[in-house]
Amino acid sequence: MEALLSAVVFGWENHMRNHTKETTPAAENGRLPANYPRVADATLQVVREKVLAGERLNQADGLSLFKTPDLVGLGQLADYVRKKRHQDKAYYIYNQHLNYTNVCRNRCRFCAFARDEHQDGSFALSLEQIEANLLERIDEPIKELHIVGGLNPDLDFAYFIELLRLVKKIRPAATIKAFTPVEIDYLHRITGYSIQEVIAQLKAAGLAMMPGGGAEVMSDRIQAALFPEKIGAARWLEIMEAVHQAGISSNATVLYGHIETAAEKVDHLLQIRELQDRTGGFSAFIPLAFHSQNTQLADLPATTAFDDLKTIAAARLLLDNFDHIKAYWVMIGESLAQVALSFGADDLDGTIIEEKITHMAGARSAKGLSRPAMRSLIRAAGFRPVERDSFYNPITANC
Ligand code: V47
């Protein structure tokens, strides 16, 4: 806790030193200590040299990041890279989540959201219900609809096409960020269309971007233990590659804080980095902190602030070809998300309005945040709030 507090204090001091020169990367600002970023752990020295030289980190470096006790040093390294890319900007988006069904055949052991078809609490929204849901907030300048759901055998391909067309009709100016490779694979299986054809038809109906879920941790061991029914790493990567080739950008995530090892996390990050080298189609990376309540892993403790900040900082340092690292406030809470802005994150995600997946698993954060609340969180952390669209273009109107 002491180290965490000093990290917070250092982040603040560091920001204050740079606040007046928005476009100057922190470490190139003459008012910073000459040895910034400072690391205390000798194993991080190697990483520090590479970071300063702009060299790519390898698997062994990645392990040093996850194993170091020097959270503050790790945070400074990540902050150095973050400030070079984004200075004191911290992004957020006015978005809305929509979960069209919680019926899911996969029944992943970490999931508290999914239900069997006729189980109490199961739902599948009709198009009329979706329309009513969207119209409730039609006066709000929402910029992105984040739409995901389970693998529900009652929903056919036409439902997905109609859903996209409907959302596009109601919200022509918003970006539809929807479905994961898990749903795309499912649509391929129920239609017999190729993956490319599924993507092309969804795109024609309004799909403009894809969220990053579904990969969890790319490891055969973890897949067998936690999500044996769901597509594995190779298929997730193959589908994301096809999505990028179709001109649709996506995000990527990691679900951490369950049974994974540091080596598996590093390996996951490096597999994503490798695909990004080939396609350039990833926009942001989002570490997702596991919440165990109401899941088959309910005896697992919550992630700690150390785990959360380390994962964000490690992602920033290993994913040198990603522009954006999100501190997803829903999962780590609003306060730690603020701190994460000094540990490599440059984006707090969005207003969300009503988050279900993590709250069903015990998340204690708010279910949504207003734009003024997002902006004050960012300002209070010493950063400059930038409202963005799905593609990180700044929004200047309606702010
Ligand atoms: O893939 C499921 C995770 C993901 C739990 O791309 C859980 O902008 C924690 O991908 N505890 C879906 N996590 C959410 C997701 C996402 C969220 C926000 C932004 C974006 C984006 C993507 O949620 C799933 C899974 O990894 N998840 N259950 C749980 N109990």
d(CA 233, CA 217): 8
- pLDDT tens for residues 139-155? 999 999 999 999 999 99
Atom 14, ligand 1: residue with shortest CA distance: 213
Please give the distance, rounded to the nearest whole angstrom, from the Cα atom of residue 162 to the centre of ligand 1.
Answer: 25
Atom 10, ligand 1: residue with shortest CA distance: 213
Q: How confident is the model at residue 12 (pLDDT cuts 50, 70, 90)?
A: very low
Closest CA to 322 of 376, 273, 372, 253: 273
- Looking at residues 110-128, what average pLDDT do you find? 96
Q: How confident is the model at residue 397 (pLDDT cuts 50, 70, 90)?
A: low
127: number of Cβ within 10 Å: 14
Q: Looking at the predicted structure, is the pLDDT value of residue 29 above 90?
A: no
- pLDDT tens for residues 196-247? 999 999 999 999 999 999 999 999 999 999 999 999 999 999 999 999 999 9
- Which residues, in sequence order, are CB contacts of 353 under 8 Å at separation 6+? 95, 96, 97, 137, 367, 368
d(CA 231, CA 228): 8
Domains and CATH numbers, the chain: 2-86 (no CATH), 89-398 (3.20.20.70)
User: Alpha helix (H) ranges present in the chain?
Assistant: 2-18, 42-53, 59-67, 71-86, 127-135, 157-170, 181-191, 195-205, 220-226, 233-245, 262-279, 305-318, 329-332, 334-340, 371-380
Atom of ligand 1 nearest to the CA of 328: 18
d(CA 320, CA 274): 11
- Which residues, in sequence order, are CB contacts of 9 under 8 Å at separation 6+? none
Q: What residue ranges line ligand 1, CB within 6 angstroms? A: 110-112, 211-214, 216, 251, 253, 255, 286, 288, 290-291, 295, 328, 349, 357-358, 361
Q: Looking at the predicted structure, is the pLDDT value of residue 309 above 70?
A: yes
- The identity of residue 215, as a single letter, is A
Please give the distance, rounded to the nearest whole angstrom, from the Cα atom of residue 10 to the centre of ligand 1.
Answer: 31
CA dihedral 302, 306, 307, 308 (to 10 degrees): 90
